[in-house]
A and B are shown apart, each in its own frame.
Chain A
Amino acid sequence: MPEPIVSIRDLNKTYKGGYQALKNINLDIYPGEIIALLGPNGAGKTTLISTICGINQPTSGTVTVGGYDTVRDYRETRSLIGLVPQELTTDSFETPWVTVSFSRGLFNKPKDPAYIESVLKDVALWEKKDNKIITLSGGMKRRLLIAKALSHEPRILFLDEPTAGVDVELRRDMWRLVHRLRENGVTVILTTHYIEEAEEMADRVAVIANGEITLVDEKQALMQKLGKKQLILDLSQPLEALPESLPDFDLKLSEDNLQLIYTFESQGERTGITRLMEALRDEGIQFNDLRTAQSSLEEIFVQLVEEA
C-alpha cells in the first residue's frame, strides 16, 4: 500500500454556535485514486473539504497532505491542492484568461501562457478566453472553476458537487475530464449526492452522514458487500398469490402477477436459487424467462444512511 497523500486523523469541527459538523473523522486517501464522499445535504462533506483546504480551522485532530500538516505547513499543503467549490463563484467582469492567470499567480507559479492555454482547451473554454465571465453559461462557469483549480498544476483536486445543476452531456464531459486527470496522476476527491456519479467515477466511496464517516470501501467491494441481487422470473401464467409452500424465500409477486421477484444476498455462499427452482417445479409454476439485477449504489446509500 503506498503512503497516503491525504491523511485525516481524529478530525473534529465544531462551529461557534456549537454545531458539530465533523465528528472524529479518520480517512486515508491514496495517490492517483478517485474517492467519492457520499452523503445527504448537511452531512459534513463541504466542511470536511474546506477543513482540508484550509478555509475552515479544525477544532481538533490533524490533516496531513503530502506529509505536511495543513495548519503548520499551509503553504506546502495548499500548493498541492486545487479546489472547485460547490457554488458558481466567479469574478463576473473578468475574462477566463485573466481569472485563470490570476489563480496561477496566487499559487506562486510563474507565468506560463502555454499551460493556461492547454487548461482552457481541456475544459473547452479556449474560444471564450476573452469573453466576460458574466456572459458564460452555468456549465461554462463550472468548467472555468475547474480550470482555475488546475491553473497551478495541483496533485490533488477537490471537486465539491462538480455536476450540481448541469445537464447530462456536460456531466459526462466532466467525468471524462476527471478520468483524464487521474490518468495524469492527479488524486481526485469529489463530493456528490448523485450516486450515478460516484458509481461512474470513483474507485472508493466514503459515506458521510451526520458528520461521521460511516463506511469507506472500494466501490466494487461495497456493492458486493451490501448489494442485493434479484432474480426475476417471467411467468408463463399469471399467479393469483404466492404459494404457501414458499415462505422461506424472500419472494414478491409483481403488480400484474406475471413476475416473481426473488431477492438474495449476492455475497452469500448459498443463494437459495437451486432450492427455489426445485420448489417452483414442485408447485408446477412455469416461467418463460429469467434474469438477475443488482442493487445500485443509490439503494446501498439509502440503506446506509437509514442505518446511520
Chain B
Amino acid sequence: MNLRAIKSIYAFEMARTRRTILQSVIAPVLSTSLYFVVFGSAIGSRIQEVEGVSYGAFLVPGLIMLSLLTQSISNASFGIYFPKFTGTIYELMSAPVSMIEAVCGYVGAAATKSVMLGLIILLTAFFFVDLRIEHPFLMLLFLILTAITFSLFGFIIGIWADNFEKLQLIPLLVVTPLVFLGGSFYSVSMLSPTWQTITLFNPVLYLVSGFRWSFYEIADVSIWVSLAMITVFMSICLLVLAWIFKTGYRLRS
C-alpha cells in the first residue's frame, strides 16, 4: 500500500480548499443562510410546525444534506477532472499508485471537506433556529457515509466527464432536482398519496429522512431502510469504480 501517495493526494487537495476558501466554504454557508432567511422567515411564517418540530428547525437536516450532496460531488469530480483537463494526470498514471489509493486520496479529501462544510452549516443554523440533536453519533455517521458515497459518485463523474459542461450536467440536472423533491424542505406526508408513492423512488428521500431522524426522531421512512439505502448507493459506486479501474475507462488508452 502506497500510504505516502494517499497522504500526498489528500494534503494536495486539502491545500486547494484552503486556497479557494471563498468558493469552497464561504459561498455554500452564505447560500444556506439565505435558504434559512427565505424558507424560514417567508414560508416558515405560514407553516408553523412539521410533526411537532418548528419549520425552521425541520429545514436544517435537509439544507445540510443539500450542501453535502452537491459539494461532495463537486469537490470529488473537480479533484480528478482538473488534472485530466490540465494534463497533470500523467503523473498519477505513471506513479506507483493503484487506483484504490488514488480514490482514497481524492475521495477522502472531498468527503472531509463536505463533512467540515456540513458541520459549519450546522453551527450556522444554531444562529437562526433552536436545534436539538437526539442522536449525534448517528447524525455524524450519516454525514460521513453520505459524504463518502457522493464523493465516490463525484469521482465517477469526474472520470466520465470530458468537458466542463458534463462536469456540471449531473449535479445540476439530476442531483439538485432530486434533493429539492426528496423531502429536504417538506415532509412527504404533506404530499398527496400519488406523489408520496412517486417520491419513494427518489433515493435522496432516504438520506434526508434518515439524517432528519438523527435530529428529531421523525422520518418519512424507517431509519434502517435509510441506512440500507445508503449502503446500496455506496456499493453501486464502488462497483462502477471497480469496473473503471479494471478497464482503465477514460484514464488509460
Using CB atoms and an 8 Å cutoff, list the residues of chain A in contact with chain B: 15-16, 53-57, 74-76, 78-79, 81, 83, 85, 87, 89-94, 98, 101-110, 148
Using CB atoms and an 8 Å cutoff, list the residues of chain B in contact with chain A: 2, 4-5, 7-9, 11-12, 15, 19, 86-88, 90-98, 248, 252-253
> In the complex the two chains form, is B94's CB within 8 Å of A81's CB?
yes
How far does the alpha carbon of A53 sit from the alpha carbon of B92 in the complex, in Å?
11
B9 CB, min distance to chain A CBs, angstroms: 7
> In the complex the two chains form, is B87's CB within 8 Å of A55's CB?
no
Query: Which residues in B have their C-beta under 8 angstroms from that of A55?
Result: 90, 93-94, 252-253
Contact of B88 among A53, A91, A108, A109 (CB under 8 A): A91
| Residue in B closest to A158 when the chains form the complex, CB atoms | B94
How far does the alpha carbon of A290 sit from the alpha carbon of B222 in the complex, in Å?
99
> In the complex the two chains form, is A75's CB within 8 Å of B252's CB?
no
Query: Which residues in B have their C-beta under 8 angstroms from that of A79?
Result: 96
Query: Which residues in A have their C-beta under 8 angstroms from that of B8?
Result: 101-102, 104-106
How far does the alpha carbon of A79 sit from the alpha carbon of B2 in the complex, in Å?
11
> In the complex the two chains form, is A108's CB within 8 Å of B4's CB?
yes
> In the complex the two chains form, is A106's CB within 8 Å of B91's CB?
yes
Query: Which residues in A have their C-beta under 8 angstroms from that of B248?
Result: 57
A56-B253, A102-B11, A108-B5 are known; give 17 further A-B pairs, CB within 8 A.
A15-B253, A54-B252, A57-B252, A78-B96, A87-B87, A89-B88, A89-B90, A90-B86, A93-B19, A103-B91, A104-B8, A105-B5, A105-B7, A106-B92, A107-B95, A108-B4, A109-B4
Contact of A106 among B9, B87, B252, B253 (CB under 8 A): B9
> In the complex the two chains form, is A106's CB within 8 Å of B90's CB?
no
Query: Which residues in B have their C-beta under 8 angstroms from that of A94?
Result: 15
Query: Which residues in B have their C-beta under 8 angstroms from that of A92?
Result: 86
Contact of A83 among B4, B87, B90, B97 (CB under 8 A): B90
Q: Using known A-B contacts A57-B253, A105-B8, determine if residue A78 contacts B95 with beta carbons closer than 8 Å.
A: yes
How far does the alpha carbon of A94 sit from the alpha carbon of B12 in the complex, in Å?
9
How far does the alpha carbon of A16 sit from the alpha carbon of B94 in the complex, in Å?
21
Chain B contact residues: helix, strand, loop or mixed: helix
Contact of B86 among A15, A89, A102 (CB under 8 A): A89
Query: Which residues in B have their C-beta under 8 angstroms from that of A90?
Result: 86, 88
Query: Which residues in B have their C-beta under 8 angstroms from that of A83?
Result: 90-91, 94
Q: Using known A-B contacts A105-B8, A106-B97, determine if residue A148 contacts B253 with beta carbons closer than 8 Å.
A: no
Query: Which residues in A have their C-beta under 8 angstroms from that of B11?
Result: 102, 105
How far does the alpha carbon of A148 sit from the alpha carbon of B86 in the complex, in Å?
16
Query: Which residues in B have their C-beta under 8 angstroms from that of A102?
Result: 8, 11-12
Query: Which residues in A have their C-beta under 8 angstroms from that of B97?
Result: 106
Query: Which residues in B have their C-beta under 8 angstroms from that of A89?
Result: 86-88, 90
How far does the alpha carbon of A55 sit from the alpha carbon of B251 in the complex, in Å?
8
How far does the alpha carbon of A280 sit from the alpha carbon of B4 in the complex, in Å?
75
Q: Using known A-B contacts A57-B253, A93-B19, determine if residue A106 contacts B95 with beta carbons closer than 8 Å.
A: yes
How far does the alpha carbon of A74 sit from the alpha carbon of B19 in the complex, in Å?
34
Query: Which residues in A have their C-beta under 8 angstroms from that of B253?
Result: 15-16, 55-57
Q: Which of A76, A90, A91 has the most CB of B within 10 A?
A: A91
Query: Which residues in A have their C-beta under 8 angstroms from that of B94?
Result: 53-55, 78, 81, 83
How far does the alpha carbon of A109 sit from the alpha carbon of B4 in the complex, in Å?
7
**Chain A to chain B contacts (Cβ below 8 Å), 6 pairs:** A55-B253, A78-B94, A94-B15, A105-B5, A106-B8, A106-B9
Query: Which residues in B have their C-beta under 8 angstroms from that of A75?
Result: 2, 96, 98
How far does the alpha carbon of A274 sit from the alpha carbon of B93 in the complex, in Å?
61
Query: Which residues in B have their C-beta under 8 angstroms from that of A105?
Result: 4-5, 7-8, 11
How far does the alpha carbon of A110 sit from the alpha carbon of B2 in the complex, in Å?
11
Query: Which residues in A have their C-beta under 8 angstroms from that of B9?
Result: 106
How far does the alpha carbon of A81 sit from the alpha carbon of B248 in the complex, in Å?
21
How far does the alpha carbon of A134 sit from the alpha carbon of B177 in the complex, in Å?
38
How far does the alpha carbon of A109 sit from the alpha carbon of B2 in the complex, in Å?
9
| Residue in A closest to B94 when the chains form the complex, CB atoms | A53
> In the complex the two chains form, is A56's CB within 8 Å of B252's CB?
yes
Query: Which residues in A have their C-beta under 8 angstroms from that of B7?
Result: 105
Query: Which residues in A have their C-beta under 8 angstroms from that of B4?
Result: 105-106, 108-110
